[in-house]
Structure 1
Amino acid sequence: MRNLVIAEHDNVSVKAATLNTVAAAQKIGGDVHVLILGHNAKAAADSAAKIAGVSKVLLADAPHLEVGLAENVEATVLSIARNYSHILAPATAAGKNVTPRVAAKLDVAQISEITAVNSPDTFERPVYAGNAIVTVQSVDPIKVITVRPTAFDAVSAHGGNAVVERLDASADSGLSQFVGREVTKLDRPELTSAKIVVSGGRGLGSSESFASILEPLADKLNAALGASRAAVDAGYVSNDYQVGQTGKIVAPHLYVAVGISGAIQHLAGMKDSKVIVAINKDEEAPIFSVADYGLVGDLFQIVPELVSSM
């Protein structure tokens, strides 16, 4: 049994979600190979080779793979897919863009966002906004899987000594082309990998309050900033900050929810956090049902007091 992990990377280093996906592959059992598809990506392949538990790194390096267009990535994955019993990718925007195409071409059912491995053919995944867990058994000869990174502890990025093997990239499909990318540059930790997250909701009332109330707290805690869908829809911040079923799934060591009522779709994105602190003036707010610590009161008074006491 051999497992192939499609790595997420920036052509220089492997992103954190790949380490969680390797952890899931190791729970399945058998050899774990990591696939790096990019351009001038030798540094990323060398980085992947150091991941603990990886036995081989495959590097497909070509100009048309540089930005990870799904049509080109899919073709190269398919060229080696039948050598593996399991093909895994992180359940990120990049992973979700590629795996459905691979599964369709292999004529197998994709198993999405697994949170546990029960056996090589049986997995758990959340449904109904995380309110239920379904156990899925697959009899497909090749299992195509996306892995929810927050559900698996990341393996060490160091300690491995895998061999790096060159792989011929499939030809450019010509079906799509890269036009441009607008990247939001943040001075804070990345939301999906941060150990502490401070999130704000509609209770903040404005984008100005979002900045003046939450940013000092996040600065004190060296935390990433998040937001509820209500705050995003109200225009307080961009959707890059959104935490929830339709946003980003996070599971930090500490999650501070400020002025967030706790809609089901938001809880689905953060309820696996290790410690949850909720600040809300409504003591009946659903967020308190998942909070480890709750402060009932005026956030405009409580949060500045917290900041001044640190």
Structure 2
Amino acid sequence: MIRTFAVAVRDGTTLAHDPATGLTHRAPLALPPGRAELDGAEVSKWPVVHPAACGGTVPVSVCWSPIVRCNLQCPHCLDDKSVTELGAADQRRIARLIAGTDVLGVDISGGEPLLLPDLAHLADELTAGGCAVSVTTNGWHLQRRAARLAGHVDAVKVSLDGPSSLVHDAWRGPESFSRAIDGVKEAVAAGLCVQLQSVLMASSRAFAQDLVRLAHRLGAAGVTFLQMLPIGEAARLPPAEMLSDNEAQALIERLDVPPELTVRLRTRRGAGGFTVIRADGRVWRNDRPAEHISALRPLRSPADLTLTGPDGSA
């Protein structure tokens, strides 16, 4: 499948950032910088470069959560509900600011980003600067918004906690599974690249294979399993829900994955140092390992995104 990636040369290495998986790959050939149409299956074979090894003065990718509001109340949500949202003008300012840096990938998250009426315009500000843009959503409003997002965002990541309403709705509430599935179908029909995302916990590990099968049936590009992080609402979950990175890796390696599907595990260690721009316009970074979030500074200029540590940490 031909998809949009963001390409840059950092420290003499050509990098291609995949907005669907959030991974950055080392290209084996020279590519012109900027947004590029590449074969997703081919890029997935290229070596993955850890964000801390990508070089440059700013993160290779960021998560931007311009909204705190959400129509669901998930007990494993990472968001800090006490954060105050900036207004529309400041959101556009931040989009233009990110677009003016060397950041390759931006995942617009929340809260629930599909509640933003001008989401497509914010994405346009980012893509105009050469970024590859994804949106992470609970899928509730995706069916009605998918067609309008096509051509504005490069990938949609839909959160699922299980392969059925019985499992998923126990976490997110009635109808949330059916709404998410209808949204995925509409997004695929609209030509959007869809990646399913699932928080990996002790109570959900048994459903991993069924989620892979579901992704394949729906025509999604892949599944990303996210190690549970004890951050935000998720800090209230029992510690026993946390799998070790080794346990999670062993689980993923046992999965039967169709060749046309990409399955990725984001470990707790791998999430360390990741940059988050919160709804109040402050730049945060995950600690190492990613079990806390540290507030750094208000985002007023590109310099506020600068990486200062030798490993890319703040």
Q: Same fold (TM over 0.5)?
A: no
Q: TM-score, structure 1 length as denominator?
A: 0.25
Between structure 1 and structure 2, the one with the greater Rg is: 1
- Greater relative contact order, per chain length (Cα 8 Å cut-off, separation 6+): 2
